[in-house]
Each structure stands twice: as structure tokens, then as C-alpha cells.
Amino acid sequence: MNLNQPVTYIKGVSVARAELLYSELGIRTCRDLLHLFPFRYVDKTQFYTINQLQQNSSEVQIVGKITGIKTVKQKRGSRLVATFADATGTIELVWFKGVKWIQDSLKVNTPYVVYGKLNWFNGKASMPHPEMETVSAYKSKLQMAMQPVYPSTEKLSNKGITNKVMRTMIQNLLQQVYGSIEETFPKYFIDEYQFFGKKEALLNIHFPKSQELLAKAQYRLKFEELFFIQIQLLLKKLIRKSKIKGYVFEKVGEEFTNFYENYLPFELTNAQKRVLKEIRKDVSTGAHMNRLLQGDVGSGKTIVALLTMLLAIDNGYQATIMAPTEILATQHYNGMVELLKGTNVTVNLLTGSTKTKKRREIHQNLEDGTLHILVGTHALLEDKVQFKNLGIAIIDEQHRFGVAQRSKMWQKNELPPHILVMTATPIPRTLAMSVYGDLDISVIDELPPGRKEIKTVHRYDSNRLAVFKFLKDEIEKGRQVYVVYPLIQESEAMDYKDLMDGYESISREFPSPKYQISIVHGQMKPADKDYEMERFANGETQIMVATTVIEVGVNVPNASVMVIESSERFGLSQLHQLRGRVGRGAEQSYCILLSSYKLSSDGKTRLQTMVETTDGFKIAEVDLKLRGPGNIMGTQQSGVLNLKIADVVKDSPILHQARQIAIKTLNEDPNLSKPEHELFLKTYTQLQKKTGIWSNIS
């Protein structure tokens, strides 16, 4: 039997059952079912005698015989009661459902193994709806000791696919295919690292005879999963470096030097200089650059991006920078126009709301090469947007773009442009090194001199008046304030109501004409949003009440306080992004997290983390533990890394070991062409078919 065959080939799986397994758990083939791993185990290694039973909540297993059966009338129908005895005493087994057919199936004076949770009443124990089988049936089965518990859904249980049924299906499957399970590791590898064989591992993950065998099975399967991800990432990096050609930026020319010497508004930090060096090295080799630039909010990624674009221009190429929102694109554009005043570099902006006449002019200038830098949103990806010679594409806040969208950038030229991906949401170092193994990574890990750390506090709703008093004091000093409300995608009406209620209570507390308030939310026209943002940026209003549209992109150095309402409803990376909107000037800045008293344990952890640290990397570590990583290889970008058994956070020691061994293997045999690596190559090839091209694009 072949593992790629549908589950209907397994004894006891009807077409109807197969359809349910597919719709509820995504299980289509025998291989899928074999890789549905238990998420916990019930340890049935221990047997109790009836006189040993304690009044606690654990499940117990007893061997004995049924000595009598009776039905007892109730208000509705009747219940079935069997007296179950061993040499030390008796208990009652009770059924409230299925009385008729259970009664017919019970055998008096036959040895049974019963298992279940006990109910106690007046010092006497009973076991409702026990799992039971005859001792002879129990002995003939695979799962003598620890019983697997499989993921399930309400629908599966209601349709009779209980955990017991799942166990039986997987047991039947294992008996049918055990002989044909293929090994994926070479013999020398299994011997050297003392791994279980694949068959043994699969048998012991489903039906372990002991805790020790289970641990060995889990280790083998987790290692295998992480090892092949590393092999894929490392090979991709090797292929990209050797096969995918990139444009060569060989000289540092006039525009770069002129800007660096005469227009750079401040001295670069050592971290910025180091990153620039790494980029220059990449673009001068003729290989294709695919680099991730990480830096905390306000660490100066944009200036590094601009200098990189000037490098491209000096070598006769064009550059583009793509941002996820119009606000952020406009901010990049305005910032660059300001910085490049007086130089010969031309910059333009293309977004969804660019007028047709302006668009035509941009398209024309792009194609004849007179436009050097194009800043924009998703509008850059349209087929009409054609460059004369695009040398570098910079993507800001990359987690906001779908992978398929980013891949369009590759198709703008004969050779793919160099790619620099920027993010202010730091990815934990361990994860970045291990999971983004095919990207080169640069980190700006110091803030520009003179920046003060933002003070963060958590306050409950009942402290609101004290918070308002603090805001008045700050406004008195000439500072400005943000008040942000959560945006819950499902209900725009509700978001709007929350925002409007908040706006009204702030208007009452901060009356005009003494105080001026701006309001910005997702339902406003772009022009109205820009008008309000503009007023706030120019200091005409002291308070900006907004939904998370300001998460990225407003730069107001005079704003010194960020108040986040219902902060427990935000994710950690969002809270960190929002906090980064203040602290851009020389004054001390503050972030106030307001929440209700009702906090989940995750909510508490998030707020506590924000109060304790402003280090984006530490925050990302906590966020990763709470949320899980994305599916890095495919087009899905959040949720879980499509892993069946490993967990990149909990299993990071295994992940590091898998990476080291993958590096060692590929150093010795870069093409996996040695005879002893035939199994590695075969597995790698199968995996490649499944993941497709997306993983080439950062």
C-alpha cells in the first residue's frame, strides 16, 4: 500500500468518514493521517485495585468482572448500572446514553479492563461511560501502555469519530503500511547521531510503550522536520549566490559622495556605517542581494535606504521604495525631497490616489530614465509601471505585503533588482538566523545619539482622571499627544463607536478654544485624513485621536505622549510600533497603556513586557512565544510554520543542532550528490515540489 493513496484504503474508513476527515482536519491521504500526531498521551501503564481508589480528579484503570446488570428508571428514560468487582471491592459502572445496545454487548463474569474518571457520592465510587474492552482484546493491541489523544473537532465527535475510532484507524493504517515506510536518513547518520529509524519513530509517536520511547520518537521527528527546513533554506541561499546574477554597482560616485559630505543632516551611527558596508559588499559582487534590514523604530533605517539608492543611481540605475500605506509612502517621499534639496536626484510619488495626468508623466519619466527614485504603495506593482533599468527595490515594513505581491518586483527587469527589505518589527535573533536562513541579515542596533528612552506605564481605566491631568501638564509645556483606539477588523461600526465615544469624552475634558483636537480613522477620505495629519504635524492641534492608522508613518518630533486605549486588545508588535511614534524629539516622552481590570494572562504578559523594556528584540522574543512564527517557506505569513510536530520556540535547541548539522552536511557535499546522501536529496526534491517559488522572494 502506498502512503499517497486516499484514506479510504484504510480498513474501517468509509467515503463519508474520509470526507469528514478532510473537511475538519485537512486529512486526504494515508500520509496525512500517519502525520496527525497526538497532542497528549493518557498513561495507562498503571492499574489500580478498587480499594486503592482515591477521591481525586485523575482517570484510572481497573481490571475486574461485571457481576450484575440492572436498569434504573429516571424522570427521562432509564440509566444502565453494572456492578464491577475485583478481589478488593466493587464499584458501579453507569451509562445514561445508548442503554439498549450497551446492555446487549456487556458480558457477565468476563475479565474486562475499564478506564475512566470517577464520581464519588457518599463515599462510594462510580464510573460514568467508561472505556472498556475485554482483557483478551486489550492484550492483542498495539497500545498496551500510553494512549494517544488526537486533535479533534466537535463535528467529528458528533459524527462518531471519537478518539478511540481515530486510534483504531491509525492502528489499522500502521499495520497495513509499516513494512513500506521509507527511511529519510542515511544509515551512517542514524548511527552517528543515535536516532530512531523512521518506522520506529512513527510507531512510537502513536503507540509508545514507555515515556522514554516516546521522547526518542519525538526527538527524531522534530529533528527531521527542522533539518529539512534548514537544508531548503541553505541550499536556496547557495543557489541564489551562485546562479542568480545581480547588477554590479562598482563605484561610489558623485551623488553619493556629494550627499554624504554636504547634505547628510547628522553623523551616522556605527551601526548604520556597518550596515552600509555590508550592503556595498553585496552589490559589488555581481551576485543578487536579498537582505533584511532590521532596526528598531527610529534607528535610522531610512537614511541607510537613501544612501543605498544613491549608490544605484551613481552606477546608472533607478531605485524604488515601496511602503504599505499612503501615509507612510508620502512621509518617505516628503522626507527624501527635503534631504535631496539642492542635489540633481529626481524623486516622485505614485499611490492609488495619484491623478491620471501625473501618472502619465511618471510612467514617461520612468521609462526614459529621467526619474531616479520612485516612492509608492502597491500601485508600483501594476504592470503599467515599467522602469528603464531598476537596480534596487526597497520594501518597507515587509510583513504588510503578501509574498505574491513582492514577487512582482522581480518581474520588472531582465535581471531581478537587488532587494532590501526593511522592518521595524525586529525578528528574534534566534528565529531570524534559523528561519530566514536564505536572507542575509543586517541589524541597526543603536539609536541616534540624544534620543531619550520612552517611559512606559500601565494604568487601569479607573486612573483616567490622573492620566488626563498629566496630559494637560504636558500640553501646557507645549507638547502634543496621541490617543489611539483599537481597530478590530470585523466590526467597523463598533470601532467607529469606540472612537467617537472616546473623542467625545476627550472633547469634554479638553474643551476648545483652549485645546484643539484632530481625529483620524479608516472611514475618512484620504484627503481629509491628510488634512488632519497636517494640522497635527504643524502644531495647530494638540491632541490627535486616532485608530491604528497612525501605527506607521507620522513623524511629529513635538509629540511626547502616546496614550493607548484598551491596550490589552493590541498585539505586542503593534504596541511597540505605536510607542515608536513618540520619542522622536529631544524631550522626554511617555507611553501610557490604559486597560480594563479584566486581563487574560497573555494580555498581562504583553503589557508587563512593554513596561519593562523598549528593546524591540526582547519584545519580539516574547511575541514569538505568545503568537508563534509564520509559515516562512510558503505564501502564508502568520500562524504556525506549517510544522507538524516541532515548535521553533520551544524546540530551539533542536533547531540550532539541526542547523549546525545541515551546514556541516552541505559544506561537505553542496549538491547532496554523494551516494550516502541519496535519501537527503530525494526528500529535499519532494519538499521543493510542495513549496514552489515563493521562498525565493524574501
Q: Would 568 be classed as within a structural domain?
A: yes
Q: Say yes or no: 393 and 514 in one domain.
A: no
Predicted local distance difference test score (pLDDT) of residue 436: 63
Q: Is the peptide bond before 513 cis (omega within 30 degrees of 0)?
A: yes
Q: Would 668 be classed as within a structural domain?
A: no
Instruction: Choose the final residue of a domain: 151, 181, 211.
Output: 181
CATH code, 392: 3.40.50.300
Of the pLDDT bands very low, low, confident and very high (cuts 50, 70, 90), residue 444 is: confident
Q: Say yes or no: 307 and 379 in one domain.
A: yes
Q: Is residue 488 predicted with pLDDT exceeding 80?
A: no
Q: Say yes or no: 466 and 411 in one domain.
A: no
Predicted local distance difference test score (pLDDT) of residue 634: 40
How do strand 590-595 and strand 559-564 relate by DSSP bridges? parallel
Instruction: Choose the final residue of a domain: 181, 199, 231.
Output: 181
Closest to 482 measured CA to CA, from 569, 579, 553, 570 = 579
Q: Is residue 599 predicted with pLDDT exceeding 80?
A: yes
Q: Would 636 be classed as within a structural domain?
A: no
Instruction: Choose the final residue of a domain: 181, 202, 231.
Output: 181
For 49-58, 212-221, 422-431, which range has the lowest pLDDT when averaged over its residues?
422-431
Q: How far apart are CA 317 and CA 311, in angstroms?
A: 9
Predicted local distance difference test score (pLDDT) of residue 262: 93
Q: Say yes or no: 546 and 471 in one domain.
A: yes
Name the grid cell of 585.
524629539
Q: How far apart are CA 254 and CA 276, in angstroms?
A: 17
Q: Say yes or no: 396 and 465 in one domain.
A: no
Predicted local distance difference test score (pLDDT) of residue 75: 83
Q: How far apart are CA 663 and CA 65, in angstroms?
A: 60
* Residues 328-387: tens digit of each pLDDT: 888 899 889 999 999 999 999 999 889 999 999 999 999 999 999 999 998 888 888 999
With cell 550596515, the residue in question is 275
Q: Say yes or no: 596 and 468 in one domain.
A: yes
Q: How far apart are CA 444 and CA 301, in angstroms?
A: 8
For 145-149, 259-263, 590-594, 677-681, which range has the lowest pLDDT when averaged over its residues?
145-149
Of the pLDDT bands very low, low, confident and very high (cuts 50, 70, 90), residue 692 is: very low
Q: 562 vs 236, which has greater pLDDT?
A: 562
Q: Say yes or no: 18 and 69 in one domain.
A: no
Predicted local distance difference test score (pLDDT) of residue 636: 36
49 Cβ partners below 8 Å, 6+ apart?
Answer: 62, 86, 87, 88, 89
Predicted local distance difference test score (pLDDT) of residue 554: 63
Q: Would 431 be classed as within a structural domain?
A: no
For 88-92, 192-196, 265-269, 448-452, which range has the lowest pLDDT when averaged over its residues?
448-452
- Within 580-646, residue ranges assigned H as helices are 601-612, 616-627
How do strand 59-73 and strand 78-86 relate by DSSP bridges? antiparallel
Predicted local distance difference test score (pLDDT) of residue 633: 40
Q: Is residue 643 predicted with pLDDT exceeding 80?
A: no
Are 273 and 445 in contact, with CB atoms under 8 Å apart? no
Q: Say yes or no: 311 and 392 in one domain.
A: yes
Q: Would 313 be classed as within a structural domain?
A: yes
Predicted local distance difference test score (pLDDT) of residue 305: 95
For 3-7, 522-526, 552-556, which range has the lowest pLDDT when averaged over its residues?
552-556
CB half-sphere exposure, 30, CA atoms < 13 A: 21
Q: Is residue 435 predicted with pLDDT exceeding 80?
A: no
Closest to 521 measured CA to CA, from 677, 356, 327, 683 = 327
Q: Give the number of domains in the chain.
A: 4
Q: Say yes or no: 506 and 596 in one domain.
A: yes
Q: Say yes or no: 115 and 152 in one domain.
A: no
Of the pLDDT bands very low, low, confident and very high (cuts 50, 70, 90), residue 531 is: confident
Q: Say yes or no: 329 and 466 in one domain.
A: no
Domain that holds residue 65: 47-140
Q: Is residue 617 predicted with pLDDT exceeding 90?
A: no
Q: Would 549 be classed as within a structural domain?
A: yes
Measured N-to-C along each axis, helices 211-243 and 678-691 cross at an angle, to the nearest 10 degrees, of 70
With cell 526593511, the residue in question is 422
b vs e for 290-325, b when ≥16 Cβ sit within 10 Å of the residue's Cβ? bbbbbbbbbbbbbbbbbbbbbbbbbbebbbbbbbbb
Q: Would 591 be classed as within a structural domain?
A: yes
In whole angstroms, how far apart are CA 478 and each of 223, 467, 541, 543, 680?
Answer: 58, 17, 11, 11, 65
Are 230 and 662 in contact, with CB atoms under 8 Å apart? yes
Q: How far apart are CA 309 and CA 374, in angstroms?
A: 10
**Percentage of the chain modeled with pLDDT above 90:** 51
Q: Say yes or no: 7 and 149 in one domain.
A: yes
For 107-111, 367-371, 440-444, which range has the lowest pLDDT when averaged over its residues?
440-444
Of the pLDDT bands very low, low, confident and very high (cuts 50, 70, 90), residue 68 is: very high
In whole angstroms, how far apart are CA 11 and each of 168, 171, 506?
Answer: 9, 10, 67
Of the pLDDT bands very low, low, confident and very high (cuts 50, 70, 90), residue 144 is: low
Q: Would 436 be classed as within a structural domain?
A: no
